[in-house]
Each structure stands twice: as structure tokens, then as C-alpha cells.
Structure 1
């Protein structure tokens, strides 16, 4: 597949458009940068591509890993091949040469930045812009992407993973009830993550718990008003707008969790020459049997849905804007699995996204 940035409204005014997208990454190698927003299906992406022979996959799960591995990107965009760089670092066994009539194919550096103490997208924006510029100057193909999620489905997945699943000991565990679900749901978590990073999401939860404790200790009738939870202080509309503008400026593709299997995964497989052989990511309206009772969309009342929508107004604006700015039709792939997938309920444009992903086994639940 020829890597290119399809025409769009935000590209026309972008003077930093990378012409090197017209180069073939599969044959020449290059950089794929993936900003992994929590609970959007990023683990599915990693598991599909981290073990490809011509890919060096870096999982930047915290700031230390990001900082230590970023020089590899600097080397690559300067025109140094991954094989050459790894030989210089005495890591010859890390990559295996792939021959094509005696010539080595280009290696792809797949750099994922995700959660924990890793820098936020907004803090990374200047470095990402510079990476694009340097890569363009040295004719190194690059592809930057991320994935966002329907806010209600995000809230359900976040609650199940961090507060219902007993395998996360660092978070308070509760029963899967609507009361607990609303208690632990966050205000605009995706915009917050993109602008401030995951650490601020944990601070938001801690501030809310502090407020709840203070309210319980205060028996006065106006205790709620005397100690309000200021949601606007977490992430403002202006901050979220800045994030959106920078995303449109820097990302070649922004997919959605709800269309991961029939858009983002086929696109990446096509770019990397994998011919569509990847594990699908299914979205189901039923809770799969797992070792714990999870919270599902079918359990929500109209009131619960309204509360989440009110707490996710900025995330919803982001989600809708991404859908408008990044239609999959702007890409042309040769992948047959997409055509087959379009015949399924998930491939139907009228399919309503749900909050519970249905996997082949429970281990894959960690991918949500």
C-alpha cells in the first residue's frame, strides 16, 4: 500500500503535509507512531503487530520507556535503517533480515505511547511535528494514528477494567451496579487523557473521593454546595478544542473502537503488508461469561445514560468530529476481510456501538 495522507479539510491548509507518505513503507521501512488512548482497543493492535518479523515494536508504557526509546525514532527519521542502528548497538539478533532477491526489506519502527506516566499527546505535539518535518526532509515514510471511543462504551469498559475486574489491585473494587458505575465514571476522560495524560485521570477520581468523604463528614444541608466537584476544572472546552485541532494537524488516521476490525486493523495490515491476517475485534451487546460479573450497557437506566452523556459532552464532540474528519472511504485498501466484515452486523453503518467486547477467551478481556 502506498502511504499517503488523503485529502481533507484540515490537510489543505497544512503546510507540513508529508509528501513522503507516497513512499512504500512495506519496502522502504519507516515509522508508525501510535498514541494509545486507554480502553480503546490498543492492546488488540499491539498483539496483532508486535511480533511481525519486519517490525520493531516499542511499547512506551511509561515515561522512562518513552524517554529511553525515543532516540531510536530520531535515528530512523535521520535516515538510519533499523538494522544498521541495532547492529551499532550490538542487538543483531533482535531483527532478522528479510530478503527480496538478495536485498533487505525496510524495517518499520512501530512506536506506541500509552498511559501511566507517559507524556500526554498535547505535551508531545511539538516533538511529533518535528518528527514529521525531519522525516519529510529525509524522505522517511511515517504514519501517525490513534483511536477514540464512544463515550458511553468507554465509561463501561473503564469501570469494568479498573473497578470490577479483581485483577487490578491498585484500584478500589466494587460490585457492578449503576450506583457504583456512576460513582466511578469520569468527566470527559478521553479529552483529559489527550491533554493532560493518564495521571490526571487518577487525580480526578481521588478528588471526587475526597469530596464524597468530606460530604459524609459534614451533616449540614448545604454540604454539597460548600464542597462542589468542579468538573470544568478538569478539562475545559477550550483545552479540548486545542487537542482536537492538534490531532487533526498531526494524525494521518484517527479510528474508532467501534470500527476497529473493519477500518483501523485492515488499514494497518495493508500498510505493513500483512494481507489482512489479523485477529478481529468484536463488539457485542451481551456480557460474555467471565470470572466476574461485569457491568453492561443493557443494565443502564435512562437516568444513568443521561448522567454519562452530561459528563462526556467534550468527549462526544471529539468523537463526532473525528468521525466527520476521518471517514474510512478516504482510504483504498486491497484487504478482502473488510469486504467480508461489511456483511456482518458490526459492518452495518446503522450498527449501534455497545460497551462490552466479546472475545474468544477471557484473557482477551484485558484488551478492552
Structure 2
């Protein structure tokens, strides 16, 4: 289950997503909605407003986060709780997922991948780019459409660029999880923050079932079935993503250390209250 699907199941959360449309066409309307929400709705009828930043032309991390920092300051001025979270992905699994997302689905094929679009390990190795999560954060999603040559958005990316972004993320985000542990860590944190209330009297349609586009008969490539040579190649070209983003998130944002005790204490308090 994705975070969006989980939030959509709650009747005490309203979603404002900058997605499916172009960023610059949508973000202004979401900002206006957010400002109106914090100014009026929160004081009269407290409910959580969740904003998802996800669009085909997402700008770089710095452009998005400067906006998020302004939202955080505005929320603080109004006394409205604010919580920023994101997730990062294990680099080899991310490379395989990106391969199918951008290459196998014809209608979404881009110049993101350099090599052949054949559904094989050779196609995966020939098309994978270096440090894709760092590229996205530092240069925006449009950088995926360029090559790695000198002067290109991807070609001039340095390890220092990625390290600086990772340092900023430690300040900007209240939680950075991983996609592999969404159900075990990030979802419990959200439920703890939002509480158990579901706001009676307001019904929401369940999210539409995800439609998986799969034109191949048989099993797909996965991070667990790659040959050692392919796995080693992907690890070599995504080492910044691993050391500066993935490992950083797992070390600095510990569910067991920072959240599990609070969540368990809250659950115990609810049990005690129910038994009185």
C-alpha cells in the first residue's frame, strides 16, 4: 500500500496532490488552498490536510523545499501542526523499478535510459543511470531526459552536491523512511500522529484499484533474482544514493529508537483507558 492510499482511507484527512498535472500549473492552486485551510478551516473544524508533491516535471529538491520551508513557517505562525516526510529506496531495487517504469511501458518511455529497451538484464544494465535519486533531488525529474555528457544536468553532478542535499534533508524532514518499510514504520508513525479518530458522518470513496500495466507473460526481473555481475554493476553506479541517502535515512531516522516506544506507550494508554 502506498502512503497516498493509506491516507485516502482515513476520513479525517484531505489530500491535496501536486500530481498528474504539471508542477507549475498546479502548485499555485494548492498553495492557495493550503493558506485558506490553515487560516480558516483548522480553527473551526480541525482536520489534517496532506499535500503530496509528485508531478511529471518536478523541480529540484531545493526549489520544492524552499516552498515547504515557507509552509512550515506559516503553520508555526498560525499554531498549526506541520510534519514533513519522505521515503528513499534501496538503490538496486530502485534501478529495477525505474527500468520497468520508463522503458517497458511504451507510452511512458523517455530518453531516461540510454540503452536498448529489451526486457532483460542486458537492457537493464545498458540503460540504468548513475545515482538516480541524487539526480532527482539535485536537478529535478527533467534531468532524467538528458545524457551524462559534460554540461548536461546529470553530467555535472558531484558527490558534494548529493552530500549537501542529504545534510539539508536532515533539517527539512521530520521523518525519512524507506519504501521497503512503509507498512512497518512510516504508516504506524502517521497513525500515531493522526490518532484513531475517523470523523463520523463523513464518508469517502475507497481509492480506485491500481491498474498494473504488464505486457509480458512470465516473471519480471527483480532485485532478488539478478546475477551477481548485474547487481555489482548497479551497486557501483548508485553508491552515492546508498551511502548518502539510503544509509543516512536508516541511521538518522530510527523507528525503533525514536518512534516505537512512543507508539507502544500510546497503545498501552488506550488499553488502560478502555478497561476503566
Query: TM-score category by the smaller chain?
Result: 0.7 to 0.9
Equivalent runs, 1:96-135 vs 2, <5 Å: 105-135=45-75
Where 1:241 maps in the other structure, the secondary structure is: helix
Which structure has the bigger radius of gyration? 1
Equivalent runs, 1:1-368 vs 2, <5 Å: 44-61=2-19, 62-63=22-23, 64-77=25-38, 79-81=39-41, 105-166=45-106, 168=108, 174-203=117-146, 207=147, 233-274=155-196, 291-292=215-216, 293=218, 294-317=220-243, 318-329=245-256, 330-331=258-259, 332-334=262-264
Taking the aligned partners of 2:224 and 2:185, their CA distance within structure 1 comes to 26
Q: Mean Cα displacement is larger for which, 57-66 or 322-331?
A: 57-66
- Tell whether the 8 Å contact from 1:182 to 1:308 is kept in structure 2 after alignment: yes
**C-alpha displacement of 1:154:** 0.4
Where 2:171 maps in the other structure, the secondary structure is: helix
**C-alpha displacement of 1:309:** 1.1
Where 1:190 maps in the other structure, the secondary structure is: helix
Counterparts in 2 of 1:159 and 1:48: CA distance versus 1, 3 Å? same
Where 2:83 maps in the other structure, the secondary structure is: strand
- Tell whether the 8 Å contact from 2:56 to 2:141 is kept in structure 1 after alignment: yes
**C-alpha displacement of 1:164:** 2.1
Taking the aligned partners of 1:133 and 1:272, their CA distance within structure 2 comes to 21
Taking the aligned partners of 1:247 and 1:195, their CA distance within structure 2 comes to 12
**TM-score of the superposition, structure 1-length normalised?**
0.58
Task: Tell me which residue corresponds to 1:219.
Answer: none
Counterparts in 2 of 1:158 and 1:229: CA distance versus 1, 3 Å? farther
Taking the aligned partners of 1:117 and 1:153, their CA distance within structure 2 comes to 23
Taking the aligned partners of 2:126 and 2:35, their CA distance within structure 1 comes to 43
Counterparts in 2 of 1:50 and 1:234: CA distance versus 1, 3 Å? farther
Structure 1 runs of 4+ aligned residues shifted over 6 Å read 228-232
Taking the aligned partners of 1:229 and 1:305, their CA distance within structure 2 comes to 29
Taking the aligned partners of 1:191 and 1:169, their CA distance within structure 2 comes to 21
Taking the aligned partners of 2:176 and 2:52, their CA distance within structure 1 comes to 14
Where 1:201 maps in the other structure, the secondary structure is: helix
Where 1:160 maps in the other structure, the secondary structure is: helix
**C-alpha displacement of 1:254:** 0.4
- Tell whether the 8 Å contact from 1:121 to 1:195 is kept in structure 2 after alignment: yes
**TM-score of the superposition, structure 2-length normalised?**
0.76
Taking the aligned partners of 1:66 and 1:232, their CA distance within structure 2 comes to 25
Where 1:233 maps in the other structure, the secondary structure is: coil
Counterparts in 2 of 1:232 and 1:112: CA distance versus 1, 3 Å? closer
Taking the aligned partners of 1:162 and 1:234, their CA distance within structure 2 comes to 23
Counterparts in 2 of 1:170 and 1:113: CA distance versus 1, 3 Å? same
Unaligned runs of 5+ in 2: 199-205, 207-213, 268-276
